[in-house]
Amino acid sequence: MKTNQMGGGPNASDPSLAAKSLTKKQYKMNKYDKDMMHERELIYDAKGQLHKADKAYKKGDKKKKQEMIHDRELIYDAKTDIHKEDIAKKRHIVNEIAGRNSRMA
């Protein structure tokens, strides 16, 4: 008999059904994942803007220096937000596990 890890779950007779059920679970995103993805997109966009401003500054446009500073601040803020979200998620998981363990005793 196959185990669930080997594909012997309830949809073992039809592999296409098993694959569909796996893909639904894999692509389900929670609020944490969406926030993290949004923050990473912000970082990506800010880095692109920073690169363009840097090129313009090197060509002689001195006004672009302030734009570069602003873009660096955006990147720093987005990275800080990602870090805070990650810490919050880890605390939540640890508290959840601690709650389960205390009920078991």
Q: Which residue has the higher pLDDT, 14 or 4?
A: 14
Confidence (pLDDT) at 1: 45
What average pLDDT does the segment 77-102 reach?
81
User: Is residue 53 scored above 80 in pLDDT?
Assistant: yes
- How far apart CA 11 and CA 17 sit, in angstroms, is 6
Q: What percent of the chain has pLDDT over 90?
A: 0
**What are the φ and ψ backbone dihedral angles of 7, each rounded to 5 degrees?**
90, 20
Sign (positive or negative) of CA dihedral 9, 14, 18, 24: negative
